[in-house]
Structure 1
Amino acid sequence: MKLIILDRDGVINHDRNDYVKSADECVPVEGSIEAIARLHQAGYTVVVATNQSGLARGKFDLDDLEAIHHKLTRLVEEQGGEISAIFYCPHAPEDNCKCRKPKTGLLDAIEAEFNTSVEGVRFIGDTLRDIQAGESKACLPILVKSGKGSATLADLQQTTDPELAALLTRLPVFENLAAVADDLLSQQD
């Protein structure tokens, strides 16, 4: 199985400081929907792993979240692709759960659901939490500059933490998900 894991907000759809609270507020990043469809058509199993603390904070409810995910799934299907599964953490940071990235609970759940290891699997995100979760499970993290990615990159470039500085030296960075898909698919030709 060629598995690929995507963060949601900032990678697939535009992030919002006040949370993506409804399907109407879920606006795809340019080229992301088509990128998912192209990856699926090339044989990738596309899975989403996303922190959704807005649930715990009462910013939106489960029906709203399901409507957002239905919209994204439908848009990808309209382009001839498929999102195989969406895993989300509903907890707030202070809940200290096992599933909120940078912890690995969502990745553990993906391994259990698909009866596979995520070691060596590409994990595309826009925050340090995404990258750290991927690193913890021996994924191949990729940073996109969309969403919070440019700020994440700037922080990594200015860090005095030797561990984070070393992370930056091995971290592929792309403009957005479409650019990642272009790169991955060009390697298959």
Structure 2
Amino acid sequence: MRKVKVLFLDRDGTINRDIGTYVTTREQFQLIEGTEAAIALARQAGYQIVIVTNQAGIAKGIVTSEQVEDIHRYLNELLAVSGAAFDRSYYCPTHPDYPNPEYDRFAWCRKPETGMVDRAVADYLASGFEVDRSQSFFIGDKTVDVECGLRAGLRSILVRTGHGEEELCRERGIEPEFVADNLFQAITEHILLNAC
């Protein structure tokens, strides 16, 4: 079975600007500078691009699944211009403080749980590809992203954009492989230099 290497990317604060609340419209969605170029370089190096994002605003009634999916369509439109479109996207609608029978069944997917990564790996397997975890990375701006990547057997990178929880990672003993100022630095100064 053919192996693939994957970049699992958090969304808000990693790809697009964290606006302090949930992104509900295309107008609120702004890419962080260098994102398109970074993802395009990763794709050229043979990486699959998978978005994994907690979207608890759905359980809170702030944003709908349809809005999240529309924003992902918009993101792919923006990325496609630079040859950087993503391959798959997954989002988790649940939040422990906002119980909702419609969404509670997805609790296993809320980062730092590995459910979204597990689903992506299973989906690749169903398509005839095995995700090479030793050459795959998880990049995000929060401790839960680093922890999710580590739990899933991936190489974790923390970016300082968004929440940039470098100190919190240290306090909790959750160590990323690399800390970068942004996604562009993570990809150009670490991933591409360490690719096999």
Q: CA deviation at 1:38?
A: 1.7
Match of 1:133 among 148, 154, 174: 148
Task: Give the TM-score normalised by structure 1.
Answer: 0.88
Structure 1 residue runs of 5 or longer lacking an equivalent are none
Deviates more, 1:85-94 or 1:49-58: 85-94
State the TM-score, normalized to the length of structure 2: 0.85
Deviates more, 1:34-43 or 1:114-123: 114-123
Distance 1:155 1:106 in 2: 23
Displacement of 1:181:
1.6
Letter aligned with residue 181 of structure 1: I
Partner of 2:192: 185
Number of equivalences: 180
1:153 counterpart = 2:166: yes
Deviation at 1:118, TM superposition (A): 5.9
CA RMSD, 1 decimal: 1.8
- The answer to whether the Cα contact below 8 Å between 1:111 and 1:118 also exists between their aligned partners in 2 is no
Match of 1:7 in 2: 10
Match of 2:124 among 109, 114, 121: 114
Match of 1:142 among 146, 151, 157: 157
Query: Which of the residues 32, 36, 39 maps onto 1:36?
Result: 39
Determine what percentage of the aligned residue pairs are the same residue. Answer: 33
Give CA-to-partner distance per residue, 1:121-145, whole Å, 9 cap, x none.
2100111111111111111100000
Cα shift at 1:154: 2.2
Distance 1:44 1:154, change over 3 A: same
Distance in 2 separating the partners of 1:49 and 1:118? 17
Measure, in 2, the Cα distance between the counterparts of 1:156 and 1:62: 30
